[in-house]
Structure 1
Amino acid sequence: MSSKLPLRDALTPRLLCVESDQRYRDVIQADSPAEVFAVFDETRYQGLVSAKQAALFPGRIFADLVVLRQARPLDEETDLETAIARLQEVKDDFLPVQDKAGGFLGAVSRASLFAALSAAEHRLNEERASLIQRLEVELENRRIATAVFDATSEGIMVTDAQTHIILVNRAFSATTGYALDEVIGKTPHLLASGHHDRDFYTAMWHTIQDTGGWSGEIWNRRKNGETYPEWLHINAIRDDSGKITHYVGVFSDISQHKEVQKRLHDLAYHDALTHLPNRQLFYDRLEQTIAHARREQGGFTLLVLDLDRFKVINDTQGHGFGDRLLTEAARRLQNLVRASDTVARWGGDEFTLILHETTEDWEAAVAARKIVHAFQAPLHVDGQDVHLSASVGITRFPLDGENAEALVSHADAAMYAAKKEGGGRYSFFSPELNRRLTERLRVENALRTSLAAPPGEGGLHLAWQPQVRLADGAIIGVEVLARWRHPELGDIPPARFIPVAEESGLIMELGRWVLEEAARHAMRLCGRIEPGRFRISVNVSPRQMGHETMEDLVSIIERQGLRAECVELEITESALMSEKHSAEDALRKLGAQGVHFAVDDFGTGYSNLAYLKRFAVHRLKIDQAFVRDMVEDEADRQIVTAIVSMGHALGLKVIAEGVETEAQRRLLLELGCDEGQGFLFARPMPFDAFAALLAQPPTPSPHAD
């Protein structure tokens, strides 16, 4: 009954409809209690955004937060069991619901579905209680009682004060298999299943005598010998003097309900795809394993496994293929461990394993090596051999953590350490790894706080390093560099906080802040910045390639009053190639609006002429690694010569970074390099110092030939 509950009754009440151009911060200021937001563009439904997801980007409009690949809406006729399975399958907290015409009705969550189930069960109990009350009033009229008996789907049994059966209804006979003439005069003991002992029945009858009634789950036996569960209500009927004259039992066969309950339990605690324990059940078993290990003063090993290259296969072969691949991977994992061990699907392509009574390092290493080696063999899916590998992180209890959260976190960190080493290997958690993890988290939290702080209070600031024309030393541009002087942590170099920003996703917000600050300050340069004569260069992270922030760059620039033609974005060639499909589209759109592009660190990556033409870049930056020793090192000098020739052949300007000596400048000029940047000309400086330098009357460069 409950599994067929219409989804209209299970919609979460804490949903708020918002326009796509609204900002989450504005909605929260209105004290919205919503857990999820339905985003509309005018009247057209766009998708769902959870409050947790929106809270990560409080300044963003909802249109930016809607996930591109939204889960398919549920039809209002979808039953509860299917809805819960869908939630488990798509790994979302909420799913949209549509009516028969395809219109948006609302959203459901696991909590709202179980709340609706609970409400339905409550209503059913109230109906049963009401039925008993009606029977007490109408029992004296046998004709009415018989009509009620025949009309209800619950089984009813009436006995006299000595518990001899005097009346049963059709539902009783349909459920138990006994006809009326087979039970009259007998006692309810006829139905005893043997599942309950004497104490159970003694306690039940004591409750009836003391309170006038009893209700609960009981197992009875049908005429054919089959046992079944039922929900039974027994009430004592008294006359005006208070003497018990009859007992009325009303029951429902809950076999189907038990089956649904079991299915719901399986869905709640097992992964719908692989049928392995899910994250919730895994945590339960992990807590039990920890408690047992403490009692026995023993230990165990926890592994976290991630399938390398799964995302590439999933994106190219399709999600259906990816699901079958995960199923095969789960089956292989289960075959690698003992029956007493636990294999769970953590989520996505990650799995967790609890290896009981594996306490020694060599035992854990043997188990991890066995898994890594097993995944070197191809998985067979849809007649294909799929080659991937596995990265495994290892923690041991209690050495690497004394609670579930610490063990999982440390195993996850060890797994990522293995993945950074190229994947297809295992890594133990170590104190040094913990130190780096703690330090990274500390820097991430500090950076998040600094980005949210009012201007000037978070320690983030810009440094400006001039770019000069080698021929005469004239300043023809400036590179804007992010710097961070934290109030507590002190000066944090970019090599330390930029990788953290990229891994945590903060690079989007940091990149936007740098561009806005650079454009705002540039407007104070008294008209010195003109297209074709002076440019402002800003670095763009690989994580920003193809992201919607790329499309927002021009509006950020022009909002500050700066023309897009005056801005140059520096992108590493490795970023261009790793994100080449999304980068090509993004650069084409920005280039059409006037933004220029420079390839940073050129020569350290692909150095491919084809992509230089396809991406329509304007400038090459020779990496300082080649400039540093070019005067003494013939190989570096030849590389610089080749880059300059390549750039000029394609009609590009070439700028060398890291120029520190006059000898380097002269050699670069001799080789035909157009521009330079480095300590020889100026170190990165505050904006006011750069503005003062730029305001000085042009004088012949002491380095000009």
Structure 2
Amino acid sequence: MKSVISLDEHQAPRALALDDPPLSAVTELSFNTQLLEHLLRHSVESVMITNASTNKIERVNQAFTDITGYLAEEVMGETPSIVQSSRHGREFYEQMWHQLAQTGSWSGQVWNRRKSGAVYLQWLTINTLTNPQGEVTHRVAIGHDLTGSSIDRNGHNLFTFNDALTQLGNRQLLTSRLDQALAEAERTGIDIGLMVLDIGRFRRINEQLGLTWGDDILRQQARTLQAVVDQADTLVRLQGDMFAILRHNRAQDSSLAHLADKLISIMAKPIVLADQSVVSLQPSIGIAVYPRDALDNAGLLQAAEHAHAMAKRAGRSRFQFVDQRLHDLHHRELLIEHSLHHVFNTLHGEGLSLAYQPQVRPSDGKVMALEALLRWQHPQLGALSPAEFIPVAEQSAQSVRLDRWVIEQACQQIARWQHHYQAVPVVSVNLSAQQFSEPDFADWLLACVKRAGISADKLKLEVTETTMMVHKQTCIKMLIRLRALGFSISLDDFGTGYSALACLHLYPLDELKIDRSFMVEASQNTRAFLLLKTIVGLVQELGLQLVVEGVEQQAQLDLLADFGSLTVQGYFYYRPLSVLELEPILALGASA
């Protein structure tokens, strides 16, 4: 397919950087403006350029108008949903956004709608453009109308549904047949079965025998599959050693299980190569069923792939139906990941808020500090626990942005409090491990507090024990600089798995926070209590401040009575409070 971006035809798709260079700054391109305009004007593919932060259309070409019927002025400022059909469910677009966020590109078949209302099939490729700082600024969608014509002006085929190596169908054929099967199933109420399978050990075969033998094995297995599946089934090669089988009828669990068992038995038989060497394989199969496991094209394929991954993890040479509970959890994580991406790229923190939990000195009940705790009211899932969405943010490389949003909000809130109250406690914020891979973090943080008009000593940075131990060298270096800038450093979650006791003297710390689980154990076990007492004594000898988390009962507080100067955090004194709920406490003159 033609593209306005020049790429080596053998390269895999990748995210494009604005210094790649960007379409929005064509003067930086290696080819001149006239050439770019010529390509846009005469390309047979439609081109749509959208602003990543607003998702609004900024430019389309003439081919877009020819294919959709919309003039450029009719779509400028609109979102791409103006051409969206109702053929795809929510899961399809969630998967698209997930892949865009992960890889910077997406391609596949999409049913879109012309201005006339007619629905047409399009092969769509979307790439992201980023600026030199790595921030996504634009998206470029290049589409080819598959229903209008599949032959170019010279009579050449522009699109094929065949896999060149095995002569089976390919992923595009599967997508097309799935669309047809789902439309039929919606009319007739029948079930549809989709299997995703691999032959197993294929990477090792390629490494040990070479790609030529690997290709030969793939062709043999393709012929084996063709001999087993029904003539009415759709058999395709997805990629590598991955195949898929779409069963339009007889898609009951028993029938699908029987076919899967037969496939595993046949495919696991030793293969004799031309040089008489013998290869044994370990196939795995994942099975999804419409409408039980998913309701649209992308969702059904995703469910089958998920079941396939489960079969592989369970030991291979087996088949696996979709575990709905795990599949729902996976889908929920994808939704959270996409929503986080949406929050930071379009709505700038919608649904996110901060609560603050006071840290109290037991001797007189004075509030010594406040910990900023992130809360998220998701538009679809409701109130989400940080224990659920923060790991998703970390896995999807969004924790840095999440941290910085929290810090900015906390700094601004401290400034507002200082305007109304004479004494405001220090506020602690949590830092993720990924933050220590950001070389600009210290400079950014200093600029952030200056913008808010507060001093660095009003902010305390909490780093978990796990982060400290896993990222030891980078952590020490970064924390030394942050402490030199005036920020205080707290070691959070102490006692949760990694023993940093022997390394405490190495870290530039001001405070140590003992995890809630440690406090619970100490209140129930004499040895745990003695260990807690020993740690408290050591921390005090090192001149560090001490915070004990999870104090919820008077009995727990009594255990700490002889431990000297310390601060406690927990429901015995305060739960996390909103800004409004904190006002009476701050008005009483709480001070750090």
TM-score over 0.5 for the alignment? Answer: yes
TM-score by length of 1: 0.49
Give 1:354-433 correspondences, 5 Å limit.
Answer: 354=245, 360=254, 362-363=257-258, 393-396=286-289, 399-401=292-294, 403-414=296-307, 428-433=321-326
Per-residue displacement from partner, 1:395-417 (whole Å, max 9, x unpaired)?
24565346532211223444677
Give 1:576-587 correspondences, 5 Å limit.
Answer: 576-577=468-469, 586-587=478-479
Instruction: Name 1:658's counterpart in structure 2.
Output: 550
2 CA distance for matches of 1:372 and 1:623?
A: 52
- Alignment check: 8 A CA contact 1:570 1:599 kept: yes
How much has 1:537 moved relative to structure 2? 0.8
How much has 1:690 moved relative to structure 2? 2.5
Change (3 A) 1:575 1:419: farther
Structure 2 residue 53 is the aligned partner of structure 1 residue 17: no
Unpaired stretches in structure 2, ≥5 consecutive residues: 10-19, 29-49, 62-78, 81-100, 106-124, 131-139, 145-149, 230-234, 270-281
**Partner amino acid for 2:418?**
C
- Alignment check: 8 A CA contact 2:55 2:346 kept: no
2 CA distance for matches of 1:689 and 1:454?
A: 26
Structure 2 residue 560 is the aligned partner of structure 1 residue 684: no
1 CA distance for matches of 2:60 and 2:418?
A: 49
Secondary structure in 1 aligned to 2:448?
A: helix
**Partner amino acid for 2:529?**
R
How much has 1:606 moved relative to structure 2? 1.3
Instruction: Name 1:546's counterpart in structure 2.
Output: 437
How much has 1:573 moved relative to structure 2? 2.7
Instruction: Name 2:508's counterpart in structure 1.
Output: 616
Secondary structure in 2 aligned to 1:523?
A: helix
2 CA distance for matches of 1:328 and 1:15?
A: 44
Instruction: Name 2:272's counterpart in structure 1.
Output: none
**Partner amino acid for 2:301?**
V
1 CA distance for matches of 2:209 and 2:450?
A: 49
Instruction: Name 1:190's counterpart in structure 2.
Output: none
Secondary structure in 2 aligned to 1:520?
A: helix
How much has 1:641 moved relative to structure 2? 3.0
**Partner amino acid for 2:196?**
L
1 CA distance for matches of 2:547 and 2:211?
A: 49
How much has 1:655 moved relative to structure 2? 1.3
Change (3 A) 1:647 1:442: same
What percentage of residue pairs aligned between the two structures are identical?
A: 30
Secondary structure in 2 aligned to 1:16?
A: helix
- Alignment check: 8 A CA contact 2:194 2:301 kept: no
- Alignment check: 8 A CA contact 1:396 1:407 kept: yes
Change (3 A) 1:504 1:428: farther
Secondary structure in 2 aligned to 1:525?
A: helix
- Alignment check: 8 A CA contact 2:352 2:374 kept: yes
TM-score by length of 2: 0.56
Give 1:100-499 correspondences, 5 Å limit.
Answer: 279-280=171-172, 283-284=175-176, 300-303=193-196, 338-340=224-226, 344=237, 351=242, 353-354=244-245, 360=254, 362-363=257-258, 393-396=286-289, 399-401=292-294, 403-414=296-307, 428-436=321-329, 458-485=350-377, 491-499=383-391
2 CA distance for matches of 1:405 and 1:474?
A: 56
Secondary structure in 2 aligned to 1:524?
A: helix
1 CA distance for matches of 2:268 and 2:421?
A: 59
Instruction: Name 2:465's counterpart in structure 1.
Output: 573
- Alignment check: 8 A CA contact 1:372 1:424 kept: no
- Alignment check: 8 A CA contact 2:287 2:320 kept: yes
Aligned length: 462
- Alignment check: 8 A CA contact 2:368 2:590 kept: no
Secondary structure in 2 aligned to 1:526?
A: helix
**Partner amino acid for 1:517?**
Q
Instruction: Name 1:536's counterpart in structure 2.
Output: 427
How much has 1:626 moved relative to structure 2? 1.9
Instruction: Name 1:148's counterpart in structure 2.
Output: none
How much has 1:639 moved relative to structure 2? 4.1
Per-residue displacement from partner, 1:23-78 (whole Å, max 9, x unpaired)?
967999894559xxxxxxxxxxxxxxxx99xxxxxxxxxxxxxx9x999xxxxxxx
How much has 1:567 moved relative to structure 2? 1.7
- Alignment check: 8 A CA contact 2:355 2:372 kept: yes
1 CA distance for matches of 2:431 and 2:208?
A: 35
Structure 2 residue 520 is the aligned partner of structure 1 residue 512: no
**Partner amino acid for 1:395?**
A
What is the aligned-residue RMSD (CA, Å)?
Answer: 6.3
Give 1:60-79 correspondences, 5 Å limit.
Answer: none
- Alignment check: 8 A CA contact 1:411 1:429 kept: yes
2 CA distance for matches of 1:545 and 1:567?
A: 17
Instruction: Name 2:451's counterpart in structure 1.
Output: 559
Instruction: Name 1:250's counterpart in structure 2.
Output: none
Q: Of 522, 528, 533, which aligns to 1:636?
A: 528
Secondary structure in 2 aligned to 1:665?
A: helix
How much has 1:270 moved relative to structure 2? 5.9
How much has 1:600 moved relative to structure 2? 2.2
**Partner amino acid for 2:368?**
I
1 CA distance for matches of 2:211 and 2:480?
A: 37
- Alignment check: 8 A CA contact 2:351 2:376 kept: yes
How much has 1:678 moved relative to structure 2? 1.2
- Alignment check: 8 A CA contact 1:364 1:394 kept: no
**Partner amino acid for 2:432?**
S
Higher relative contact order (CA 8 A, sep 6+): 2
How much has 1:602 moved relative to structure 2? 1.6
Per-residue displacement from partner, 1:534-571 (whole Å, max 9, x unpaired)?
52111233454524784533333332122233322223
Structure 2 residue 416 is the aligned partner of structure 1 residue 524: yes
- Alignment check: 8 A CA contact 1:397 1:407 kept: yes
Change (3 A) 1:451 1:31: closer
1 CA distance for matches of 2:546 and 2:518?
A: 14
2 CA distance for matches of 1:553 and 1:466?
A: 23
Unpaired stretches in structure 1, ≥5 consecutive residues: 35-50, 53-66, 72-90, 97-107, 113-117, 126-216, 218-257, 311-320, 375-388, 700-705
- Alignment check: 8 A CA contact 1:465 1:682 kept: yes
**Partner amino acid for 1:570?**
E
- Alignment check: 8 A CA contact 2:51 2:58 kept: no
Bigger radius of gyration, 1 or 2?
A: 1
- Alignment check: 8 A CA contact 2:306 2:322 kept: yes
Change (3 A) 1:30 1:655: same
2 CA distance for matches of 1:372 and 1:671?
A: 67
Change (3 A) 1:426 1:493: farther
How much has 1:656 moved relative to structure 2? 0.8
- Alignment check: 8 A CA contact 2:421 2:589 kept: no
Change (3 A) 1:675 1:448: same
- Alignment check: 8 A CA contact 1:468 1:475 kept: yes
Change (3 A) 1:293 1:671: same
Secondary structure in 2 aligned to 1:684?
A: coil
How much has 1:587 moved relative to structure 2? 4.3
1 CA distance for matches of 2:471 and 2:283?
A: 24
Secondary structure in 2 aligned to 1:17?
A: helix
- Alignment check: 8 A CA contact 1:470 1:676 kept: yes
Secondary structure in 1 aligned to 2:491?
A: strand
